[in-house]
Chain A
Amino acid sequence: MEEDIIDISEQLQCSLCTAAMEENYIFCISCGYPEKGSEEEQTKFHAHRILNMRKSSDARQGITSARNILFIIAAINMLWGIFYFFQNSQDISLLIYFPILSVMYLVLGYWSQQKPLMALVLGLLVYLTVIVLGAIYEPESIISVSGLFLKSFVIIYLAKGINAALHIKKS
C-alpha cells in the first residue's frame, strides 16, 4: 500500500523542479518545463532558462550600477559642500544643503539593497529636483555642455536601474 503511493507521486513529478503534476499536463505549471515535449523542445527550454538567468543577473548588475551612481553623487555632494564652504566666504548654508542632499542619496543607495524599485525611483526624482532647482536659481548652470553630458549619464544609469528593478519584480 505504501509503495503504491510513492510510486504514484514519482510518476506525477516534474523532472526539473519536482513540482506535482497531473496526468494530462504537457508542461510543468510551476517551472514551464515541457515534461511531455520532444527532446528538442526540452533542450530549447534549458537554453532559454540559461538565457533568462543571465538576464536576471544583468538586471542585478543594472541595479548595482545605479546604486553605485547614487553613492558617487552622495560623495560628490559632500565634498562639493565642504570645498565651497572654504572657498566662498564660509557661507554656513553650503554646509547644510549639500550634506542633506548627500545623506539623502546615501540613505536611498542603502535602501536600494532591500527595495531597489522604490529607492531608485526616489533617487532619480531627487536628482531631477536638484537639476530643476539649479535651472531656476542659476539658469547658466543648465547650459554647460559637460554638465549636460554628466547629467544625462546619471539619469540614464538611474533609469536603467529602475528598468532592471522592474524586471526583477516581474520574475
Chain B
Amino acid sequence: MEDQSNPVQYCLHCSAPLPNTAKFCSQCGTAIAIPVDTRIQKSIYYIIAFYVAFLLLAIVSAVIFSNDISFFSEVLVEVIFIGMTLGFCALDWKAIVKLYLLSKVDAKGVLMTLLVPIASAFFVYYGIEWLNGVLEWYDENIYEEYIYYENALFWAILFTTIVPPIFEELAFRGFLFNEMRKVSSVQVTIIGTSFLFALVHFSLISFIWIFPFGLFLGYLRQRYNTLWLCMVAHFIHNFLVLMLDYINYSPEVF
C-alpha cells in the first residue's frame, strides 16, 4: 500500500504509478530506465565527435600550412579551433557556465595551482632538452616560430600562453569532462580526459609528460569544480616554458 500511495515514477507506456525501485511496469510489463541509456549513448557519441573534430582540425591546419605559412594562416587555424570549441560547448552550455562561477578555493588549491606548474615547466623544459641531447634530435624553440612576425613576443604569448589555457581548458576540462562524467566514474573521467588531452597534441613523446599534467588539471577541476584554477595552472606552465625558450633564443635581452 505504501508503494502505491507514494509513487515516485510513472510508466511511460501506460502511466501506471510505480515505486522508484521498479525496473518493469507492474501493469503492462514495459521495461523502465530506457531514458538513462540513450543519454549514455549520446554522451559517447559526443565524446567521439569531439575528438574526431580535433582530428579534422589537424588535417585542415596541415593543408592550410602546406599552402602558406603566414600570420594569416596561424590566426585562421586558431579561429577555427576556438569556434569548434565554442560550438561543442553550446551543446551543454548550462553545465559549462557553472564552471566559471567563483567557487570556494582553499589555500592548498591555490598553492598547488601556483607551484605544480612551475615545477612541471622546469622539469619538462630541461627533461626535453636532455632527451633531445641524448637522442641527437633538433631542439625545437617555440619562440623561434614567431620571430618572423612583428611584435614576436606578443604573438608568441597570445598564441601559446593565453589562447590555449582558456580554450583547451574549456574544451577538455569543460565539455569533454562533463560528457565523460555522465557515463563514467570520477577516476575514469580524469584519466580519460587527460589521455585525450595528451593524445591531441599529436606527439607521442610529449604524451609522456602531458598525460600526468592533464591528470593534475583534471584533479583541480574535480576537486574545486571550477575552470579558473585549471586555466591559471595551464597558463603558468605554458608561460614559463615559452619564457625559457625566449631567454634561450635571445640571451642578449637579459
The residues of A with any CB-CB pair to B shorter than 8 Å are 21-22, 24-32, 34, 37, 92-93, 96-97, 100-101, 115, 117-118, 121-122, 124-126, 128-129, 132-133, 135-136, 162, 166, 169-170
Contacts and interface: CB of A to CB of B under 8 A. Distances in A.
Contacts of A37: 29
B24 to A, nearest CB: 4
A162 B23 CA distance: 24
A97 B200 CA distance: 15
Interface in B154-195: 180, 183-184, 188, 192, 195
Interface string B25-47: 11111010000010011001001
B135 A93 contact: yes
A32 B23 contact: yes
B44 A162 contact: yes
Given A92-B135, A129-B199, A26 B40 contact: no
A100 B207 contact: yes
20 contacts: A21-B26, A24-B4, A27-B25, A29-B18, A30-B24, A92-B135, A100-B205, A100-B207, A115-B184, A117-B44, A117-B184, A118-B180, A122-B196, A124-B48, A125-B199, A132-B58, A162-B44, A166-B37, A166-B40, A170-B37
B59 interface: yes
A125 B62 CA distance: 19
Interface residues of B, number: 43
Nearest to A96: B205
B22 interface: yes
Contacts of A136: 58-59, 62
B120 to A, nearest CB: 20
B202 interface: yes
Given A97-B204, A129-B202, A29 B192 contact: no
A96 B31 CA distance: 51
Given A162-B44, A166-B40, A125 B29 contact: no
B52 A31 contact: no
A129 B3 CA distance: 52
B51 interface: yes
A90 to B, nearest CB: 12
A128 B55 contact: yes
Closest 9 A/B residue pairs (Cβ): A32-B24, A29-B22, A27-B29, A25-B26, A170-B37, A136-B62, A100-B204, A132-B55, A29-B26
